[in-house]
Chains A and B, each alone.
Chain A
Amino acid sequence: MAAKPGTASTTYSPVDPTHKTKPSIFTDSDWVRPDSRGFHQCRPAFFRTGAVNSASGSAYAEFGNTKVIVSVFGPRESKKAMMYSDIGRLNCNVSYTTFATPVRGQGSDNKEFSSMLHKALEGAIILESFPKTTVDVFALVLESGGSDLPVVISCASLALADAGIMMYDLVTSVSVSCLGKNLLIDPILEEESCQDGSLMIACMPSHYEVTQLTVTGELSAPNLSEAMQLCLDACAKLAQIMRSCLKEAASAAEE
């Protein structure tokens, strides 16, 4: 797909995707983010529940260019092969569409996203309320624009609430990227590809408890505590947006 320099341009030649973007431009002190957000500003969040009619509960989330749809099925009878269990089971699956990434079929990191989604949600769901049954959570990333896993986690907990599964609290998730000395919240794809370190937190805002936490790359200790504080504040605000979305959906259903 790389453009050959020097050929007569009667044929379509796309921009060479391997052109080297120097990461040093990101450490300029007066650098502005590509979508002109502040360093500590999240993308505007759009949530809608009830996106999938045939599922017990579903939600659609759009954060800038990251679009995710999650559907929840259950509680359904566990497969006969599974052992008896007096608490419920949670089964999570995250998959990427082939057109989600700029290069077709490249959702490569998503093998561990399913288990990370499971860990983020299992602390919040009251599994004792549906013994012997399984709740299935299927997440589909329609477009990957950066910060995919946090959006998937927030959308999944909204879908679970829409399905009426009993939970201790909504789970919201935000990630922070460290580029040089700057901490950027809610990074987009270009920022993620040249980050020095990143922190992703999934938490239950009302309980002020962290259910999932990952740190990649190098983060010094003061950066780490500042990044955690940023994430927790952003999670609290995101929870309010999710709650108002649920209230709207409930009041619309009543009319």
Chain B
Amino acid sequence: MVGLSEGEKEFIKGGIAQDLRSDGRKRYTYRPIYVETGVIPQANGSARVRLGATDVIASVKAELGKPSALQPDKGKVAIFIDCSPTAEPTFEGRGGEELSAELSGALQRCLLGSKSGAGAGIDLSSLIVVEGKVCWDLYIDGLVISSDGNLLDALGAAIKAALSNTGIPSVHVAAGASNDEQPEVDISDEEFLQFDTSGVPVIVTLTKVGKHYIVDATSEEESQMSSAVSISINRQGHICGMTKRGGSGIDPSVILDMISVANFVSRQLIEKLDSEISAAEANEEES
């Protein structure tokens, strides 16, 4: 990203204080979101989300595996984000590793909930095939192609779209397998079960610049931020995860205020995203 002059920095901060950002948006307005699903035919589900100039792809692959001994009635989900050097030359080699780890951790926290399974966006018990022996392992991979700020929100939206596009093949278990042996499973090529994504939350990142917060910051605005809070809210308005990013401290009352703003913004975002996803699915079926 090109450096900003002092004048440009003052322009950005002053604009945000007056509720008019550099691209004409208000503080709580998102950039136009474009969703395409089914972009990767080899994967069980995939989606591409464009949020202004930010471009991310999420793909979901399901493979049969063995459930962990501590939770034999649940499947497993692994989320991994990769920042490609096409987005920023500094991401080449190990440069993007720190950002990838931060994004993967934040997404895992938001989508997988706590260890007892409460608050999880994805219902892990629906991934079980034979309790204690066979379950589905979902590998969710995100790829950042172009970065212009607000990567976490775009990745959250892409994963939600990819999951609603995911078809898990139905499995027939051979009857009569004894308790100790691995049962024989027959993966069908024809029938698919659509994944239920009504519980998957969206992530809203509020970036604090000066005394005000904005939603969906571009990378220029992010460079001027003092701190950012990413809040994951589901359809019922419950908070499923929250992470603070960025250096300086925030007053606790500001955090509570951010939560109420995020609640308000998330409702519009969920509606917009749902309509975009269903439009994308309809498009995909036609083509």
Contacts of B116 in A (CB 8 A): 23, 193-196, 217
Query: CA–CA, A208 to B251, complex, Å?
Result: 6
Which residues of chain A have C-beta atoms less than 8 A from B118's C-beta?
A: 196-197, 217-218
From DSSP, what is the main secondary structure of chain B's interface residues? mixed
Report the nearest A residue to B239, measured CB to CB: A219
Counting CB contacts under 8 A, is B212 at the interface?
no
Docked CA distance A232–B241 (Å): 19
- Which residues of chain A are near B70, meaning CB under 8 Å? 18
B243 CB within 8 Å of chain A: yes
The answer to whether A123 touches B247, judged by C-beta atoms less than 8 angstroms apart, is yes
CB distance from A200 to the nearest CB of B (A): 10
0/1 string, A7-42, CB within 8 A of B gives 1:
000000000001000010000000000000000000
The answer, among A122, A194, A218, A220, for a CB contact under 8 Å with B115, is A194
- What's the nearest-Cβ distance from chain B to residue A132, in Å? 19
Tell me whether B69 and A213 are in contact (CB under 8 A): no
| Contact (Cβ within 8 A) B244 A214 | yes
Q: Taking the complex as formed, is A119 at the interface, i.e. its CB lies under 8 A from any CB of chain B?
A: yes
Is there a chain B Cβ closer than 8 Å to A210's Cβ?
yes
Residues of B within 8 A of A207 (CB): 249
Q: Smallest CB–CB gap between B283 and chain A, Å?
A: 34
Cβ contacts under 8 Å, A225 to chain B: 256
- B67-119 CB contacts (< 8 Å) to partner A: 69-70, 98, 101-102, 105, 109, 113-116, 118-119
A115 interface residue per 8 A CB criterion: yes
Q: Is B250 an interface residue (CB 8 A)?
A: yes
Q: How many residues of B contact A (CB 8 A)?
A: 34
Complex alpha-carbon distance, A210 and B115, angstroms: 25
Pair B101/A210 contact, Cβ less than 8 Å: no
For A120, the closest partner residue in chain B by CB is B244
Taken together as a complex, chains A and B put the C-alpha atoms of A213 and B69 apart, in Å, by: 31
Q: Contact check, A119 vs B114: say whether CB atoms are below 8 A apart.
A: no
Q: Which residues of the other chain, A, contact B244 by a CB distance below 8 angstroms?
A: 119, 210-214
Q: Which residues of A contact B246 (CB under 8 A)?
A: 119
User: Does B127 touch A at the CB level, under 8 Å?
Assistant: no
Whether B251 contacts A218 by the Cβ 8 Å rule is: no
Please measure, in the bound complex, the distance between the C-alpha atom of A156 and the C-alpha atom of B111, giving whole angstroms.
30
Q: Which residues of B contact A217 (CB under 8 A)?
A: 113-114, 116, 118-120, 240-241
CA of A216 to CA of B121 in the docked complex: distance in angstroms?
A: 12
Task: Indicate if the CB atoms of A216 and B109 lie closer than 8 Å.
Answer: yes
A123 and B241 contact, Cβ closer than 8 Å, known pairs A115-B102, A194-B115, A195-B114:
no
Q: Indicate whether B272 reaches chain A with its CB closer than 8 angstroms.
A: no
CB neighbours of A232 from chain B (8 A):
252
Task: Determine which of A209, A216, A220 lies in contact with B251 in the assembled complex, contact meaning CB atoms within 8 Å.
Answer: A209
Q: State which of A18, A111, A124, A204 has its C-beta within 8 Å of the C-beta of B69.
A: A18
> In the complex, what's the smallest C-beta–C-beta distance from B243 to chain A, in angstroms?
5
With a cutoff of 8 Å between Cβ atoms, the chain B residues found around residue A193 in the complex are 115-116
Report chain A residues within 8 Å CB of B114: 195-198, 216-218
A228:B255 contact, CB within 8 angstroms: yes
- B112-139, CB < 8 A from A: 113-116, 118-120
A197→B119 contact, CB < 8 A? yes
B98: chain A residues within 8 A (beta carbon): 115
Complex contact A228–B115 (CB within 8 A): no
Determine if B249 and A213 form an interchain contact, defined as CB atoms under 8 angstroms apart.
no
Is the pair A218, B239 in contact by a Cβ cutoff of 8 Å?
A: yes
CB distance from A65 to the nearest CB of B (A): 18
Q: Which of A38-94 contact B (CB under 8 A)?
A: none
With A112-B101, A112-B102 as given contacts, are A214 and B115 in contact (CB-CB < 8 Å)?
Answer: no
Instruction: Say whether B259 faces chain A, with CB atoms less than 8 Å apart.
Output: yes
Inside 8 A of A224's CB, which chain B residues have their CB?
239, 256, 259
| Complex contacts, A208 vs chain B, CB 8 Å | 251-252
Take A197-B118, A210-B251 as given contacts and tell me if A119 and B245 are in contact as well, using a CB distance cutoff of 8 Å.
Answer: yes
Q: A123-B249, A211-B244, A218-B240 are in contact. List 19 more A-B contacts (CB 8 A).
A: A115-B102, A115-B105, A122-B247, A123-B247, A196-B114, A196-B119, A197-B114, A207-B249, A210-B251, A210-B252, A211-B248, A214-B109, A215-B239, A216-B113, A217-B116, A218-B118, A218-B238, A219-B239, A221-B239
Q: List 12 A-B contacts (CB under 8 A).
A: A18-B69, A194-B115, A194-B116, A204-B249, A208-B252, A210-B244, A211-B248, A213-B242, A214-B242, A218-B239, A228-B252, A232-B252
